[in-house]
């Protein structure tokens, strides 16, 4: 018996030791927290499935940050109990993850994984701008980051703008500073100070005469071409740029998928000057997320341009087999030569291809009231479909119960109104409150 209980006892002790690094917070936290403290907080609800899945990961993060000597304190709060605290931090969904630093709040919008949250804690909890004092440190940072922003030069007004942009955009990317003699000799800068982004195996310099620094950083914070998941796509939407996607299979890519990926990558690399200001380029494995946006089953492989700022999308009007076809598609999106359609029809079968120069591109989607209603119905159907297939009785209950409640409520309202009309018709004396209201109205009229 003791041999059986020993592993259980050890598991309990381990859980308690890990839980000691995560503090449970309530509404009193607003008065007791210190201004210089850095807090990473998860707001959860007891009934939230994703919160329960995140719970062991969250305690692991608390333990790891403590063991690394991080200044970040880790806490969690039941938003259904500590409603004042949740309201202060504008919690709208669960689990919500925020970091408090220097009286500023940073919201985490990435994947609910250990690596994603630890990277967020390291980025936001550390120095706002990290100094690179040697070529070795610079090369080490380059090996760790696909995209890296670096301020080069002495203190200036540009450095102030760079710091201001970092305060807002640190949730998305790292910011560094260095001197000219630290950079590799291959990096050529025409003047100092300068802000440089290193990505795609090369570098690009910020042009103060053409761009706003914060907007430029927001546009350049992704590689020109990369693998894109739903979280990355959502973040790209905040930049205001469109996203050119090649949708491919999740496993065992077909020859056509490989060709589509190659086309998008080639255009991203060879036509950067033309399209990088307006487009991100990449590929997405599977079409589940896009199906929800389009509200239909998108064929794979295929192309699509997504505008996340309005939940809209563009589909090519024919087959896309060559680089010229893809360039015509992008140009059609940019110059507005599109056939605007509000409805969303089935997309399983693409229309027949027409001759070069005559392609019709379709702009669809959007966030109008009608589109939101359609998307709500689509999401509801997509959510209930697996329930009906696996547990038909439960699916019927989930569908019929709200309808029964709504019908009962409407029936009661109609019945009450009918009873009130019958009372008036039969000459029933009005109730005391009704008499008082009529008396006040008559007094007002006489006055």
* pLDDT tens column, 69-118: 899 999 999 999 999 999 998 988 889 999 999 888 999 988 889 999 99
Burial class of residue 294 in the structure, from the number of CB atoms within 10 Å of its CB (0-12 exposed, 13-18 middle, 19+ buried): buried
Catalytic site residue from 51, 396, 400, 410: 51
CA–CA separation, 414 and 230 (whole Å): 46
Percent of residues, the chain, with pLDDT higher than 70: 74
Beta pairing partners, 247: 284, 302
400 is catalytic: no
**Average pLDDT rounded to a whole number, residues 126-133:** 94
Q: What are the tens digits of pLDDT across the range 296-337? A: 888 899 999 998 888 888 888 777 889 999 999 999 888 877
The mean pLDDT value of the chain amounts to: 80
235 or 390, greater pLDDT:
235
Scanning the structure block, which residue is given the tokens 């996340």?
308
48 is catalytic: yes
422 or 78, greater pLDDT:
78
Res. 423: pLDDT tops 70? no
Write out the residue limits of the CATH 3.40.30.10 domain(s) in the chain.
Answer: 15-125, 130-219, 222-375
Res. 137: pLDDT tops 80? yes
Neighbours of 41 (CB within 10 A): 22
How far, CA to CA in Å, does 42 sit from each of 59, 79, 112, 179? 11, 9, 11, 39
Please give the model's pTM, rounded to 2 decimal places.
0.71
Q: Which two tokens stand for residue 337?
A: 């030569």
Beta pairing partners, 44: 78
CA–CA separation, 223 and 241 (whole Å): 13
Catalytic site residue from 48, 400, 410, 413: 48
Percent of residues, the chain, with pLDDT higher than 90: 48
Contacts 24+ apart (CB under 8 A), 48-52: 48/94, 48/95, 50/94, 50/95, 50/112, 51/94, 51/95
Res. 360: pLDDT tops 80? no
Classify 367 as helix, strand or coil.
coil
- CA dihedral sign of residues 117, 119, 124, 126: positive
396 or 7, greater pLDDT:
396
DSSP 126: S
Judge whether 305 and 244 are in contact, CB under 8 Å: yes
pLDDT at 412: 78
pLDDT band at 338, cuts 50/70/90? low
pLDDT band at 415, cuts 50/70/90? confident
* Chain centroid, CA 418 distance in Å: 50
Res. 53: pLDDT tops 80? yes
Judge whether 243 and 280 are in contact, CB under 8 Å: yes
Res. 129: pLDDT tops 80? yes
Topology at the third CATH level for domain 222-375 = Glutaredoxin (3.40.30)
CATH number for domain 130-219, candidates 3.40.190.10, 1.20.120.450, 3.40.30.10, 3.40.50.300: 3.40.30.10
Classify 350 as helix, strand or coil.
coil
CATH number for domain 15-125, candidates 3.50.50.60, 3.40.50.300, 3.40.30.10, 3.50.70.10: 3.40.30.10
Q: What are the tens digits of pLDDT across the range 190-231? A: 999 999 999 998 999 999 888 899 999 998 999 989 999 888
**Average pLDDT rounded to a whole number, residues 410-425:** 70
149 or 375, greater pLDDT:
149
């Amino acid at each position: 018996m003791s041999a059986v209980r020993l592993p259980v006892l050890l598991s309990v002790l381990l859980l308690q030791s890990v839980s000691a690094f995560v503090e449970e917070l309530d509404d009193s936290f607003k008065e007791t927290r210190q201004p210089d403290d850095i807090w990473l907080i998860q707001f959860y609800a007891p009934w939230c499935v994703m919160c329960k899945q995140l719970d062991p990961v969250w305690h692991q993060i608390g333990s790891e940050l403590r063991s690394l000597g991080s200044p970040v304190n880790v806490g969690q709060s039941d938003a259904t109990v500590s409603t004042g605290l949740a309201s202060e931090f504008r919690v709208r969904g669960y689990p919500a993850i925020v970091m408090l630093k220097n009286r500023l709040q940073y919201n985490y919008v990435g994947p609910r994984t250990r690596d994603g949250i630890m990277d967020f804690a390291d980025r936001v909890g550390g120095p706002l701008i990290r100094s690179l004092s040697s070529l070795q440190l610079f090369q080490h940072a380059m090996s760790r980051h696909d995209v890296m922003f670096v301020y080069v030069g002495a203190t200036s007004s540009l450095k102030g703008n760079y710091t201001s942009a970092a305060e807002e955009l640190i949730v998305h990317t790292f910011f560094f500073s260095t001197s000219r003699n630290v950079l590799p000799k291959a990096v050529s800068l025409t003047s100092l100070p300068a802000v440089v982004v290193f990505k795609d195996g090369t570098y690009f310099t910020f042009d103060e005469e053409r761009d706003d620094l914060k907007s430029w950083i927001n546009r350049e914070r992704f590689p020109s071409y990369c693998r894109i998941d739903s979280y990355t796509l959502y973040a790209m939407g905040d930049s205001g740029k469109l996203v050119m996607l090649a949708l491919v299979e999740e496993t065992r890519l077909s020859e056509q998928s490989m060709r589509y990926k190659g086309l998008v990558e080639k255009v991203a690399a060879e036509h950067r000057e033309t399209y990088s200001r307006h487009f991100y380029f990449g590929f997405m494995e599977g079409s589940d997320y896009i199906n929800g946006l389009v509200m239909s089953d998108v064929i794979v492989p295929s192309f699509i341009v997504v505008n996340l700022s309005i939940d809209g999308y563009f589909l090519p009007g024919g087959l896309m087999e060559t680089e010229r076809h893809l360039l015509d598609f992008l140009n059609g999106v940019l110059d507005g030569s599109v056939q605007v359609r509000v409805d969303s029809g089935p997309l399983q079968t693409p229309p027949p291809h027409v001759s070069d120069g005559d392609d019709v591109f379709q702009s669809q989607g959007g966030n109008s009231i009608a589109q939101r209603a359609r998307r709500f119905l689509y999401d509801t159907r997509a959510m209930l479909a697996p329930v009906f297939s696996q547990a038909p009785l439960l699916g019927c209950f989930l569908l019929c119960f709200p309808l029964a409640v709504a019908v009962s409520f409407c029936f009661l309202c109609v019945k009450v109104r009918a009873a009130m009309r019958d009372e008036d018709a039969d000459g029933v004396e009005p109730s005391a409150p009704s008499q008082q209201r009529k008396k006040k109205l008559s007094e007002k009229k006489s006055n």
